[in-house]
């Protein structure tokens, strides 16, 4: 009888112990420059109300606590975070795309493992393939940094293998950079209180991740497909008519500016920053007057045949307008679902969290 009672208690309490242990995991590391070549790793244990700052040196690996996706051997304090001038890629045989991870690192990890982008040790095994993160790793969930460091690592590993990882800025990345923190998880409020630093400053221009984020593009083209977080509207393309100009103008004028703040009389900047801009646009799905002919004109101007977008959530990856718009925000943000878009030699399919390959949903506009 006592043995049965003990077994019951162990089975009942085990999830509580696991959750408590996970809750006490450290948050970070946030790497801050104290001089041009000197980094300090800032770490917080929110549930324990403690913090630690470690100066980066050759023995840093022995001093750091365990983080699930942080690899100190890939950090170069002298790294120059330059924007990649190449935003168009041709002859790519394999592409995987997903978006709107929103702090759900474990879901993203499982999806990438399921479809052989990474191995069980989180190393790149996708060869010369391209992985596209179509924006919004930040906010909502409590595993934002894990996701950022994973993407950072894979970007470096993929390039060595002849592949690429493209992390496109979404509206939630640019919101954080500009100081709009209304959607952060409550755990990060504890971190910022412990570190006595506003959340946005942990990704500020004087931080490693902040400099990396500010070097990322808004939009790219792979083969004949354009990738962008929200979408490219008619109004935007009347003012800014190429992908390179969209990237350049946003980085030069808007990267740290909150959209609600009026910053210029320039029509280009107003459209680029607003609801018709590439980070916020939902017109393909919500504008009843938007027709396939409108999309054809946009694609012709971009010299593309399809567009892959995130930002607008669905229960699965879906295609619209005769397959010319593919929506890849599959609601990963909820933590229990999610899909990836798989493109293999011009064949398009979707990969599920269970590891299944399925045909794309073909949906009506509305």
What is the CA angle 242-319-167, rounded to 5? 50
For residue 366, the model assigns a pLDDT of 45
Domain residues for the domain of 129 are 88-362
Residue 14 is assigned to a structural domain of this protein: no
- DSSP assignments along 237-294, one per residue: HHH--SHHHHHHHHHHHTTT--TTS---S-HHHHHHHSTTSTTT--HHHH-TT--HHH
Which candidate, 321, 324, 354, places its Cα nearest to that of 339? 354
Residue 169 is assigned to a structural domain of this protein: yes
- DSSP assignments along 59-122, one per residue: THHHHSPP-SS--GGG--TT---PPPS--EE-S--EEEEE---TT-HHHHHHHHHHTTSB-TTS
> In the structure encoding, which two tokens stand for residue 156, read together?
């470096």
Over its length of 366 residues, how does the chain's per-residue pLDDT go in tens digits?
444 333 333 333 333 333 444 457 999 999 999 988 899 999 999 999 999 999 999 999 999 999 999 999 999 999 999 999 999 999 999 999 999 999 999 999 999 999 999 999 999 999 999 999 999 999 999 999 999 999 999 999 999 999 999 999 999 999 999 999 999 999 999 999 999 999 999 999 999 999 999 999 999 999 999 999 999 999 999 999 999 999 999 999 999 887 665 456 688 999 999 999 999 999 999 999 999 999 999 999 999 999 999 999 999 999 999 999 999 999 999 999 999 999 999 899 999 999 999 999 777 654
For residue 13, the model assigns a pLDDT of 39
306-309, strands of its sheet edge to edge? 88-89, 219-222, 225-228, 306-309, 325-327, 318-320, 361-362
Identify any residues that bridge with 42 across adjacent strands, giving them in sequence order. Answer: 30, 53
H or E stretch covering 341: strand 339-344
CATH of the domain at 99: 3.60.21.10
Residue 207 CA from chain centroid, whole number: 18
How many residues are listed for the chain in this entry?
Answer: 366
Return the SS3 of 308: strand
d(CA 325, CA 297): 13
Residue 76 is assigned to a structural domain of this protein: no
Residue 268 is assigned to a structural domain of this protein: yes
| Percent helix, percent strand, percent coil in the chain, to nearest 5 | 35, 20, 45
pTM above 0.95, yes or no: no
Residue 199 is assigned to a structural domain of this protein: yes
Q: Quick one: 19 exposed, middle or buried, by C-beta within 10 A (0-12, 13-18, 19+)? A: exposed
Residue 45 is assigned to a structural domain of this protein: no
Residue 237 is assigned to a structural domain of this protein: yes
Residue 263 is assigned to a structural domain of this protein: yes
Total domains in the fold of the chain: 1
Which candidate, 137, 193, 171, 315, places its Cα nearest to that of 254? 171
H or E stretch covering 327: strand 325-327
Q: Is the C-alpha dihedral spanning 171, 176, 180, 181 positive or negative?
A: positive
Asked if 66 and 27 count as a contact pair (C-beta separation under 8 A), the reply is no
């Amino acid at each position: 009888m006592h043995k049965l009672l003990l077994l019951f208690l162990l089975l009942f309490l085990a999830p509580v112990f696991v959750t408590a242990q996970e809750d006490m995991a450290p948050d970070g590391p946030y790497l801050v420059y104290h001089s041009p070549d000197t980094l300090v790793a800032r770490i917080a244990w929110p549930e324990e109300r403690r913090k630690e700052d470690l100066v980066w040196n050759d023995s840093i690996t022995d001093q750091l606590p365990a983080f699930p996706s942080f690899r100190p051997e890939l950090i170069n304090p002298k790294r120059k975070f330059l924007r990649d001038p190449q935003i168009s890629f041709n002859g790519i045989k394999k592409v995987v795309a997903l978006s709107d991870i929103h702090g759900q690192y474990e879901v993203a990890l499982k999806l990438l493992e399921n479809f052989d982008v990474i191995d069980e040790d989180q190393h790149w095994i996708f060869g010369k393939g391209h992985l596209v993160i179509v924006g919004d790793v930040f906010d909502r969930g409590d595993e934002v940094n894990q996701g950022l460091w994973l993407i950072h690592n894979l970007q470096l590993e993929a390039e060595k293998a002849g592949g690429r990882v493209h992390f496109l800025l979404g509206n939630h990345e640019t919101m954080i950079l500009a100081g709009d923190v209304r959607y952060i998880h409550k755990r990060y409020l504890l971190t910022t209180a412990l570190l006595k630093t506003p959340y946005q400053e942990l990704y500020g221009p004087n931080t490693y991740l902040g400099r990396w984020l500010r070097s990322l593009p808004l939009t790219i083209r792979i083969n004949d497909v354009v990738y962008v977080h929200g979408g490219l509207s008619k109004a935007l393309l009347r003012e800014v008519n190429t992908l390179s100009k969209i990237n350049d103008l946003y980085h030069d004028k808007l990267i740290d500016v909150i959209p609600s703040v009026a910053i210029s009389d320039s029509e280009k900047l107003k459209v680029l920053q607003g609801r018709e801009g590439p980070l916020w646009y939902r017109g393909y799905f919500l504008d009843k007057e938007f027709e396939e002919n409108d999309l054809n004109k946009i694609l012709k101007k971009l010299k593309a045949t399809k567009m892959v977008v995130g930002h607008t959530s669905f229960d699965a990856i879906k295609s619209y307008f005769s397959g010319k718009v593919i929506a890849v925000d599959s609601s990963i943000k909820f933590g229990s679902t999610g899909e990836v878009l798989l493109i293999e030699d011009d064949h398009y399919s979707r990969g599920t969290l269970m590891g299944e390959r399925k045909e794309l949903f073909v949906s009506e506009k509305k």
